[in-house]
Every structure is written in structure tokens, then in C-alpha cells.
Amino acid sequence: DAGITQSPRHKVTETGTPVTLRCHQTENHRYMYWYRQDPGHGLRLIHYSYGVKDTDKGEVSDGYSVSRSKTEDFLLTLESATSSQTSVYFCAIKTSGTNTGELFFGEGSRLTVL
């Protein structure tokens, strides 16, 4: 158990509304990631963070922003949700001392945009 909590676990919203997903970790790991999972696409990286206030874009970052104001929380925001952002979102962390690249994942947040 890597101590990752995602919230909310399920959310239904309407097109055009803002949505924020939260990833919380309890072990002060430096690197955190947001992925989305869609049928036929596997998991694709949205954004990642390598420290407080240090973030960068992944391959599918359009329409998403992130913030990391403290080590334990990594927030993913959809400023104006669209139906194409209906997906399952996974937060992941890289544990300290890991130099082989594996990530540990949260349970996921299922977002439906109507």
C-alpha cells in the first residue's frame, strides 16, 4: 500500500462545469503523476510533478491543469469539462529510493461528463 487516496472516487458532472480531482499521499514522495485510462488507449499521462510547485505536461494535457502547493496533494483540474474528458483518472507516485521507474497507483476516480 503506497498510501494514495483519490477523491472523489466517482463524479457525474455537466459539460462546461469545473471539476477538481484530488490525489493525497501520506509518505512525502517527491514524484506524482496523473493518468487517464480509456478503452483502446491504455493509460496516458496528463501531467506530472517533481516537487512542490514543480509540474510539467504529459502527452494529453490539453484541457487540464494541475497544482501542487504541498508535497502530499496533487490536484487535477478540468476548467470546463467536456464529454471527451469522461474517463477514469489515476494518480500515481514514485516511491523514494526507487531508481527503476515503477509507479504505484491509486484506486482511480471515475468521471462522467454529460
Residues that bind another protein (CB under 8 A): 31, 33, 40-45, 48, 50, 56, 58, 90, 92, 94, 98-108
Q: DSSP class of residue 62?
A: T
Q: DSSP class of residue 84?
A: G
- If residue 75 lies in a helix (H) or strand (E), which one and from where to where? strand 73-78
Nearer to another protein, 5 or 77 (CB): 5
CB of 42 to another protein, least distance (A): 4
CA distance 2 to 36: 19
CB of 4 to another protein, least distance (A): 8
Residue 78, C-alpha cell as written in the block: 478540468
Nearer to another protein, 56 or 79 (CB): 56
